[in-house]
Amino acid sequence: MNWFGKKKTKDASTVSAASSRVPTDPQNTIVKLRENIKNQEKREDHILKKIDGLVVEAKGKMAKGDKKGALFIMKRKKLYETEVDKIQNVKMTLETQVINLESAAQNAETYKAMQAGTSTMKKIRTDVGIDQVDDVMDNIKEEMEMAQEINSAMAQSVDPILADDDELLAELNALETSDLEAELLKPTPQVQDDLELPAVPASKLPKLKQQEAEDLKKLEAELAGL
C-alpha cells in the first residue's frame, strides 16, 4: 500500500518492452499453457497425498487422546484443501485460455486463408478482366471467320481455262452446226455402172524354169505313188 501518494503506474516503454517479449506464436503459447497445466496437476496430486497423510495422522492423535494435536493437524489439512481449490481454479483458467487460444488461432488461420483467396481472386480478376475477355473473344471470332474464308477459298475448284462454261458450250454448238451445214452442202457422188476390171494379158505366161518343172514332176510322181 502506498501511503504517500497515488499508485505508481508502469512506464509505457517498460510495458511495451515486456509485451514484445511475450511469445506471439499461438502454437508455442498453447504448448506452454499445457505444460503449466501438467505442473499444476502434479502439485495437486502431491498436496492430495499430503492431505491423506494428515488424515491418518489426525486419527492417530485422536486414538491417543491428543485432541489438541489432532485439531492442529486438521487445520493444516484445511490449508492444503484451500490450496487444492486454488490449483483447480488455476487449471480451469489455463484450460479456458487454451480453448480460447486454439479457437483464436483457428480463426486467424481461417482469416489468412480467406484473405489469400480474396487476394488471389482479385489478382486473377485484374489479370483477366471483362475487357480482356471481350478482346479475347473478339479475336477468337475474327480468327474463326478468317479460317472459314481460307477454307472456302481453298475448296474452290481451279479451272485452267479462265472461260465461262456457257460460253464454251455455245462455241461447241456453233461448231457442230457448222459441220452439219458443210456436210449437207457436199455434192452427191455419182455411182459408176460398170466396175473396171484389170485387162487380160494378151501374151502367154512365161514358162517355168527347167528346175522348177522337174521339181513339179517329182512332186506329181510322189503323189501318184501314194
What spatial distance separates the first Cα and last Cα of the chain, rounded to whole Å? Answer: 178
C-alpha distances (whole Å) from 85 to each of 43, 82, 88, 96, 102 are: 12, 5, 5, 17, 26
Q: What are the tens digits of pLDDT across the range 76-91?
A: 999 999 999 999 999 9
Cα 134 from Cα 202, distance rounded (Å): 113
Predicted confidence at residue 72, as pLDDT, reads 93
Q: Which residues contact 108 (CB under 8 A, 6 or more apart)?
A: 26
**pLDDT per residue over 131-169, tens digit each?**
777 888 888 998 999 898 888 888 776 655 555 667 767
Which residues of the chain, if any, have pLDDT below 50? 1, 3-4, 12, 15, 19
Closest CA to 70 of 82, 59, 81, 85: 59
- pTM of the entire predicted model: 0.47
Name the residue ranges covered by the structural domains of the chain.
14-119
